[in-house]
A and B are shown apart, each in its own frame.
Chain A
């Protein structure tokens, strides 16, 4: 395995509902000139980001925006809250099951107030409409995530997928 693709850290995520674990691969940072975060900072940001998937899934499954609060802030929280509002109006909900993450730190701001990750995520989406009909799709996308520090954790401020 090439050095640039090294640093394979395997985390195991067990969802609150006990579904299959997601594998997590952590690439070496590709900072291209921006400062390098302290090792513990990078690990904490990735840990909190992975937790955000659990909270995202719970919030969109139960249509409870308050479940976003511990992981999301700013624009990311506003957009996800709006999705929950739309789902509530439709009588629908969605379940996101992350299967695999391939994460890389791509930017760390010099004053330490933000960190940016990319994540090639594979996940399953189960959308249930008002009549209980389930629609399922396996998806893979490259997410761009910006986190900012809160009191005791990193929170996701930008959570955006783009074509791989």
Chain B
């Protein structure tokens, strides 16, 4: 932004922010966009030292009173509220100056949670963003933003929101299909992407069958799926329990290629059940 625009931003009325003492006055904008050039006009004669002091920056300039001092672009990049001191040999004058963020977003800090989630959870995926300008100043005035969550099947959820105080957020449903979803936040010409893995939920139903093999009872489940039809991942533990004459045998088996299978003693009259997590499957009573 050029110097003239900086003065315009500050406003002509307030451009004459005057602090007068002993014949010396200074005039500068009260408000400047971060990184913009600006100028300081003074009256009087002789040398003076200008300090612009704030938590994010301290600037010192030796200036000639009675002249215009120009400050190049990038001189004050950090948004904040600054004290301005003009020190001469005989006096110190003060004023204040606000540096405001650039209006154009440059970076979006986007945090999506979780990175891995079960399918079919309402509002299970959340995203929060903070918006910064190119100088890493938080842009605090309202701006539109959109969040999009798209699944491999092409299904997309979209939410429009408004950035307030530099921040916004949304919540999305995980969809019925497993896979890698793209969670995108868009603002003006910039966007940021996060990937959310949607994984199958708990088994929906368990169905096993039994047959005799080499004198042992061979038990095997049908392919185990969640309630949306997604294959439950290998490694999920399935528990087989055989109860016979008051005794009980239990075997935990991980799913392999979608099914769990095991061999257990073939006891006539035994009751065999299968379960995974909180899901109970069918029961079989084995009779020779």
Contacts and interface: CB of A to CB of B under 8 A. Distances in A.
Interface of A: 32, 34-35, 56, 60, 75, 79-80, 82-83, 86-87, 90, 92, 94, 96, 106-107, 109-111, 113-114, 116, 118, 125, 127, 129, 133, 135, 137, 139, 141, 144, 146, 158-163
B111 A82 contact: no
Interface in B54-90: 54-60, 78-81, 83, 85, 87
Interface of B: 30-31, 49, 51, 53-60, 78-81, 83, 85, 87, 92, 94, 96, 98, 100-101, 111, 113, 126, 128, 130, 136-138, 140, 164-167, 169, 171
A35 B127 CA distance: 12
Given A90-B58, A160-B80, A32 B138 contact: no
Contact of A110 (B79, B92, B137, B171): B171
Nearest to B78: A79
A129 B30 CA distance: 23
Given A87-B58, A129-B87, A133-B87, 11 more contacts: A83-B57, A106-B165, A109-B111, A111-B126, A127-B85, A146-B138, A146-B166, A160-B101, A160-B138, A161-B80, A162-B98
9 contacts: A32-B164, A35-B169, A83-B54, A110-B171, A111-B113, A111-B126, A113-B113, A160-B79, A161-B80
Contacts of B55: 56, 60, 79-80, 83, 96, 159, 161
A150 to B, nearest CB: 16
B57 A79 contact: yes
Nearest to B84: A137
B81 A161 contact: yes
Given A139-B83, A159-B55, A162-B100, A107 B164 contact: yes
A130 B90 CA distance: 17
A88 B100 CA distance: 26
B169 A160 contact: no
Contacts of A56: 55
A114 B100 CA distance: 23
Nearest to A133: B87
Nearest to A106: B165
B56 A79 contact: yes
A133 B169 CA distance: 48
Contacts of A160: 56, 79-80, 101, 137-138, 140
Nearest to A158: B138
Contact of B51 (A60, A109, A114, A135): A135
Contacts of A158: 130, 138, 166
B138 A163 contact: no
Most chain B beta-carbon neighbours within 10 Å: one of A35, A144, A161: A161
A130 to B, nearest CB: 9
Contacts of B30: 163
Contacts of A114: 111, 128, 130, 167
A144 B140 contact: yes
B164 A83 contact: no
A40 to B, nearest CB: 21
Contact of A109 (B78, B85, B94, B167): B167
A129 B94 CA distance: 14
A160 B80 CA distance: 5
Given A111-B128, A135-B85, A161 B164 contact: no
A133 B92 contact: yes
